[in-house]
Amino acid sequence: MTARLDQALARIRPDVRASHAYQVQPSHGVVKLDIMENPFRLPLPLQLKLGSRLGAVALNRYPAERTGELAAALLAHSGAPAGTGITLGNGSDELISLLTVALAQPGATVLSPVPSFVIYEMCAGQQRLPFVGVPLRAQDFELDTEAMLAAIEQHQPALVYLSYPNNPTGNLWDAEAIERIVQAAPGIVVMDEAYQPFAAQDSLDLMARYPHVLVMRTMSKFGLAGVRIGYLLGHPALTGEIEKLRPPFNVSVLNAEAGFFALEHAAVYAEQAATLRLERERVFAALQSLQGIEPWPSQGNMILARVRDAAATFSKLRAAGILIKNVSAAHPLLSNCVRITIGTPEENTLLLQALPGSLT
The pLDDT score that the predictor gives to residue 47 is 95
DSSP 36-51: ----PPPPHHHHHHHH
In this predicted structure, the answer to whether residue 78 has a pLDDT above a threshold of 80 is yes
In this predicted structure, the answer to whether residue 305 has a pLDDT above a threshold of 90 is yes
In this predicted structure, the answer to whether residue 1 has a pLDDT above a threshold of 70 is no
In this predicted structure, the answer to whether residue 29 has a pLDDT above a threshold of 90 is no
Domain count, the chain: 2
Please state which of the ranges 27-36, 88-97, 192-201, 284-293 shows the lowest mean pLDDT.
27-36
Claim to verify: residue 206 and residue 113 sit in the same structural domain: yes
Domain of 134: which CATH number? 3.40.640.10
> Cis (ω within 30 of 0) for the bond into 345?
no
DSSP 246-313: S-TT-S-HHHHHHHHHHHHTHHHHHHHHHHHHHHHHHHHHHHHTSTTEEE---SSSEEEEEES-HHHH
Claim to verify: residue 260 and residue 328 sit in the same structural domain: no
Tell which of 264, 299, 318 closes a domain. 264
Report pTM: 0.95
What number is the average pLDDT over the span 48-57?
Answer: 95
Residue 310 lies inside a defined structural domain of this protein: yes
Length of the chain: 360
d(CA 112, CA 91): 20
Cβ-based neighbours of 355, under 8 Å, separated by 6 or more: 287, 290, 293, 313, 317
In this predicted structure, the answer to whether residue 8 has a pLDDT above a threshold of 70 is yes
Tens digit of pLDDT for each residue in 220-275?
A: 988 899 999 999 999 999 999 999 999 989 999 999 999 999 999 999 999 999 99
The pLDDT score that the predictor gives to residue 25 is 79
Claim to verify: residue 94 and residue 109 sit in the same structural domain: yes
Tens digit of pLDDT for each residue in 137-186?
A: 999 999 999 999 999 999 999 999 999 999 999 999 999 999 999 999 99
Type and span of the H or E element at 322: strand 322-323
Claim to verify: residue 83 and residue 211 sit in the same structural domain: yes
Model confidence band, residue 283 (pLDDT cutoffs 50, 70, 90): very high
Claim to verify: residue 82 and residue 118 sit in the same structural domain: yes
In this predicted structure, the answer to whether residue 20 has a pLDDT above a threshold of 90 is no
d(CA 303, CA 348): 12
Claim to verify: residue 186 and residue 302 sit in the same structural domain: no
Q: How many CB atoms lie within 10 A of CB 11?
A: 6
Claim to verify: residue 157 and residue 292 sit in the same structural domain: no
Tell which of 231, 264, 297 closes a domain. 264
47-55 long-range contacts (CB < 8 A, ≥24 apart) are: 49/261, 50/258, 50/261, 53/257, 53/261, 54/254, 54/257, 54/258
Tell which of 264, 298, 330 closes a domain. 264
Domain of 315: which CATH number? 3.90.1150.10
Claim to verify: residue 252 and residue 289 sit in the same structural domain: no
In this predicted structure, the answer to whether residue 317 has a pLDDT above a threshold of 90 is yes
Claim to verify: residue 116 and residue 170 sit in the same structural domain: yes
The pLDDT score that the predictor gives to residue 106 is 96
Claim to verify: residue 255 and residue 271 sit in the same structural domain: no
Type and span of the H or E element at 126: helix 118-126
In this predicted structure, the answer to whether residue 27 has a pLDDT above a threshold of 80 is no
Residue 11 lies inside a defined structural domain of this protein: no
Cβ-based neighbours of 88, under 8 Å, separated by 6 or more: 67, 70, 71, 74, 229, 230, 231, 232, 246, 250, 251
Q: Residue 340 sits in which domain range? A: 21-44+267-355
Residue 169, CB-side half-sphere exposure with 13 Å CA sphere: 25
